């Protein structure tokens, strides 16, 4: 089976049977299939192409089974000290097997390595499973975007999580940073 393929299997692999890697062009067909299966208002194929073309390669991650099956993906961007998780999805057959968590952790670490100190995301208000996952990993609600989602129309909850230790953040002035232990 080639990278980028999406096939049905009896039992989806767990996160320990997957690897996370940067996306390549041949993954886009499988990514678009997952997107359409998961979201009622999916991103277009061209949106994924543009992200792959213009973002650093590691800002588009793939969760891949050992035989090359694409099980999920995450897209991020960073601006200065802030990151945004733009999109994350796992194929329905592979949910609740740790793959979404694997992608989230990889996305957070990638953005931290790119100098981000915070990560933001939007999530459907009714998506309790995703909100619970995010909250368990340090995200807290900080706002609401009324009518943000379409099909059906729904508010987005804006969430934020720190990617670095508070003592190491650059948003604190020099007089607010803790002194190193002596």
Q: Which residues are catalytic?
A: 122, 134
| Contact criterion met (CB below 8 Å) for 53 and 47 | no
Q: Spell out the residues 6+ positions from residue 79 whose beta carbon is closer than 8 angstroms to its own.
A: none
CA angle 139-144-146, nearest 5°?
Answer: 150
Q: How far apart are CA 89 and CA 62, in angstroms?
A: 10
Question: CA 180 to CA 145: how far, in whole Å?
Answer: 40
């Amino acid at each position: 089976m080639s990278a980028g393929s999406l096939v049905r299997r009896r039992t989806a692999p767990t996160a320990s049977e997957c690897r996370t890697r940067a996306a390549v062009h041949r993954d886009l067909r499988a990514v678009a299939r997952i997107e359409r299966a998961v979201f009622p208002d999916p991103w277009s194929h061209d949106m994924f192409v543009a992200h792959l073309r213009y973002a650093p390669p590691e800002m588009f991650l793939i969760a891949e089974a050992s035989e090359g099956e694409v099980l999920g993906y995450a897209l991020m961007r960073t601006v200065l000290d802030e990151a945004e998780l733009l999109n994350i999805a796992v194929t329905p057959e592979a949910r609740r097997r740790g793959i979404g968590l694997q992608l989230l952790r990889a996305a957070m670490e990638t953005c931290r390595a790119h100098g981000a100190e915070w990560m933001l995301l939007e999530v459907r208000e009714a998506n309790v499973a995703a909100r619970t996952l995010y909250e368990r990993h340090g995200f807290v609600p900080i706002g609401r975007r009324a009518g943000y989602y379409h099909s059906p129309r729904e508010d987005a909850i804006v969430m934020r999580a720190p990617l670095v230790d508070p003592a190491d953040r650059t948003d604190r002035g020099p007089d607010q940073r803790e002194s190193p232990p002596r």
